[in-house]
Structure 1
Amino acid sequence: MEVPNYGMMVQPGYPINTVGANPMMPSGPNYPPAMNPAMAPGFYPSVNTNPLVPQTAPYPQFSGIPGYEGMEGEGGGKFLPPPPVVGPGPDSLPTPSNKDWTIPSISQETAKKALLDYVNGHCCYGTSPVEQMEIQQMKPFNTYRYRLETFTESRSCEWTTKPLTTNEKLDGPSNGPAPQPWEIIMEPPALFHDEIKKQPIPHTSSKKECEECHGKGKIICQKCNGNGRVKCGHCNGSGRSSGEQCSHCNGSGSEGCNGCNQTNVQTCPGCTGKGQVISYIELTVTWKNNLYEFIPDHHSEFPTDLFKKVTGDKIFVDEQLLVPPLVNFPEASINQASQTAVQQHYSQFISSCRILKQKQSIEWLPLTKVEYNWKEKSCSYFVYGRENLVETKDYPSTCCCVIL
């Protein structure tokens, strides 16, 4: 697959996302009170569990990477601005040569077979109306579905850390200047398919002391809050079970913590007990297919939502870097929808993403109202979609016991 040439763009850096840990277990009826971290065994730290208190950037002292200076010490992540779009906007492109539009329609035989399939799918529906019906009128509504798909690529970066593994080689600034986010070549997936890829930005790695445990490899046990005991699971901390003293905890309401085996501390999850981590800038590339869909008013009582269940016949497809809006389709609302969609997607994505490809299409959605008589009764039903599904509210024979 040919990889698009994104060109070289020097982009400003971006801040990092704040991180919050899970809240500590609240105290129960007989549960030991929360332990002051200063009283924790040894000098193991606790983890910041208050989501209202932001944590700082992992290692603000690691700075000086050209293009990424603004990431240190700030909160929240931002998308990187994309390189400028090559070529004119969609309004400057020529309109497609689509003067002749062929609008198909279904036959009476197709309409009857669709109703028969519908009836056969209902155990209490009789087939006599289908066999004896007299079709009075078939009203095609020439309904369409317009779609604009804009396949975009966006990039963001943030500081992150991972545990240090044995004999892992660091790719730090000494290996060369870090490339800017849009200079890194990432092969896109199949067109119009969502995907996310992450990778470290070269030459931004550094080995640092783990901030979660301050290099000790252990933290206060988050399950028992450093007490070594937790609420008894058999009596829910009440000390009594079935009206009697709980035999599991002897009425104390607490039991030994199996998260730390009553040692009061646990292995630090940030460094897996090694006390050191690798800090680096991670690039996230997001490919997304953005869809705009429009079905015009078909001037019938048919529920438009049912079209989501079916497909239509493609009567027009236009795929290019930036598609032009339609101007000469027979249905004026489709032209208006195309102009709105093209301008909306261009304005929405050109400042935050790279547009890799656009595709607009028009489907003919078969929708025919069939009016028929059976035993002097006037009835009707709709046939819709390529699948020829049926929607009806007045089928005259709904019990096989009274088929005449």
Structure 2
Amino acid sequence: MEQALLSDQKQEESLSYYQYVGRTASFSAPSAIGEEVSVDEIRSASVFSDPNYYPPSIHSALVASPESDPSQGQALVFQGGYGEGFQQGYISNQFGRPILDEVEIRQLLIDHVGHRCCWASQPARRWKISAIEDCNVYVGTLETFIEERETVRETEPYAGGETDGKGTGLELGLWELDLRSEFPLLFVPHKELRAKIPHSEAKEKCSGCQGRGEIPCPTCNVGLEPGFYKENQMSQCHVCYGRGLIAHRDGSDTICNKCNGNGKLPCVMCASHGLIKCQTCNGQGSLLTRNIALVRWRTLSNRKVSATTGAASVPDEVFHKARGVQLYNTQAYQCNPAYFADSYLLNRFSSEVIADRTPIPPASRVICERHTISVVPVTRVTMAHRNKAFSFYIIGVNREDYKIWAQPNSEGFHQCIQPSKNRERNPVKATNGYLVVHANGGLNQMKMGICDMVAVAKLMNATLVVPYFDHTSYWKDPSEFGDIFDLKHFIKTLEADVRIVKRLPAKYKGMQAHVMKPRSWSKAFYYQKELSKILKQKKVIEFAFADARLANNDVPRPIQKLRCRACYKALRFTDKIQELGNTVISRLRATGNRYLALHLRYEKDMLAFTGCNHNLTSSQAEELRLHRLSVVRWKEKNIDGDEKRREGRCPMTPRETVKFLKAMGYPSSTVIYIVAGEIYGTNSLEIIKEEYPRLYTHHSLTTPAEMGALRVLNNQLAALDYIVALSSDVFVYTHDGNMAKAVEGHRRFEGFRKTISPDRRKYVELIDRFDNGEMNEIEFQERVKEEHETRIGGPLMRRRGEIPKQEDYFYANPLPGCICH
């Protein structure tokens, strides 16, 4: 028998479980410079809102009709979308989203209840819907990116030599300076630059000393003008009071040692020469002056928040679960108000935002403007049963939208990496020696290896030298640690755990280090007992490899937490890379607000390494085979690619990837960001783009000037992709390499963000059956969804195995260790 959703006895305490339906995410409507809209702003906006001013929600409000005939049931009447004249059940084609009707509302509620233990769906099916109320919040922003320039005069002592003055060329005007190489990313909050104006230097006589290089001593020649001074100005000795002798009680006198019996002391500042060196010109008598352009780039922003009257009574926690949907985003030299063919009211709202444009300072110019309008879609649904009313909130747009973008339930798990004050964060002891590490592989392999080495240094009580990066791997990237990660932040964050230095002390540089390869997947005692002894003797140990040197499991809890502090807190990308990543994310959001990051590991090195050549030509397969034979460190040379594919150990092909995304419910309008290097094959990306035209890469979302040197630095490009993948609404990977593992683990750590991990063995079986005509498209898609229903990155204990390769990697799933219930 189906259990009632709410019994009369438990109704009050149980309502909260049934109250919020929809996507769960922090509330951030796209707004000026990434600022979040506060609940206080919403409350304030709704107080002054005209109930007839703003349109209903983008999924439209529905209200009950008069109950003229109870036998006819509850009728729901469309009250208008963003305008009038559209067919009931749909909104303007400009937005292209079907509205929520009664059936969809009930189905959303049934889906929501289905995730709650011991709850039944009968109330969601049978209770009467008495009201559906729009509680939307609208956010309009106008950002104006400006450049300000002003000239300041700079002086310094003239030390001789030629000057870059009018004799060497015509002095450039302030706005004639070419600063394109220094130009920042658009809409950064603030950047300041000082640039020398060419041919503006001049040699001038120092006004402080009138060109003499010396000025009268301010102590013994106080008040005298330059050129007038008196020498040998002495002051009375304060020890003997000018006598030159010191009187004693027995009546004797001795010579004063302070003044040597003279009774006077020379000036302490100029030794009674009467002159001191002019500090303005450093004794040179001349100054070198030049014009300096002080340039500031900054973003002026204004934001307008408006809310429907219904938003005033929505609980705060509902808005904290909501996320804005961008309706309009344009960028131009000067933005004009938006035009919605179906909504005069939104047009009026946009005009008000534009009219409130922040005044531009006189000595500045506008580079660009960006105008956005967003809506936070919240609908309150009231249901009635036995003379009792119950309200719940729908957050989002529609049911299908909810299902494909819904985040996993965290089930009460949360981060727990802070050390215990009493046991885990003991002061760093005197070091046993220095640990030099050579990180190997690509960026993410090196990153995870460095996190292990931080933990190893703690176990060995060693001082860690900032790791050296691998420049010999397939990617051939010359970047060093400080080019990718914020070195100061790394050292500062871990200073209470491990002592970290930039380089070996001078006294150890000439010493022969003990070079070794530590055992893979070692337990803690290996480093605490065996290697610590060697470190005490040799003082410097050099590890030739860093990856996979520490076990996934059975490691002390404080060490596991330290690994996560190193990986997720200390290893922060440089400001330059992070800013560019934020720019790429904002441009992706502007195209559709939500996006899917696809790690398409269909690259030459991976295909050659795995021996996978499904759907490739014979010449391509031969090219990959020869490449595999040429890499000495790859031990497996003769590979049966078909067998490996059946075992699920091959990257998914572009066609297989498209079929998978379609089966999982992602429509052709989905915004997809490719997280990968160069995709192998001439038309590989075109296969995906044919089905998903809104396909982007780091190159398509940045200009050559913004990308700069990054375009040929593969590890830095990988860092950029990592930032974008971490922030995506959904992350999908087609092969579980180091990038996939690192991003998946980080997303679990950050609250179990949706990460779809295809079961490639099962998927290959299904798609081969589909290709052989053993199942139709609908059957294929249903089976794919069924097989991957639980593979979305939710809480799951790290799998153990008899050997490490059969286990889940610690950095792919830091539960247990860094995540607690």
With the length of structure 1 as denominator, give the TM-score of the two structures.
0.45
Which one has the bigger strand percentage?
Answer: 1
Which one has the bigger helix percentage?
Answer: 2
With the length of structure 2 as denominator, give the TM-score of the two structures.
0.24
Larger radius of gyration between Structure 1 and Structure 2 = 2
Structure scoring higher RCO (CA < 8 A, sep ≥ 6) equals 1
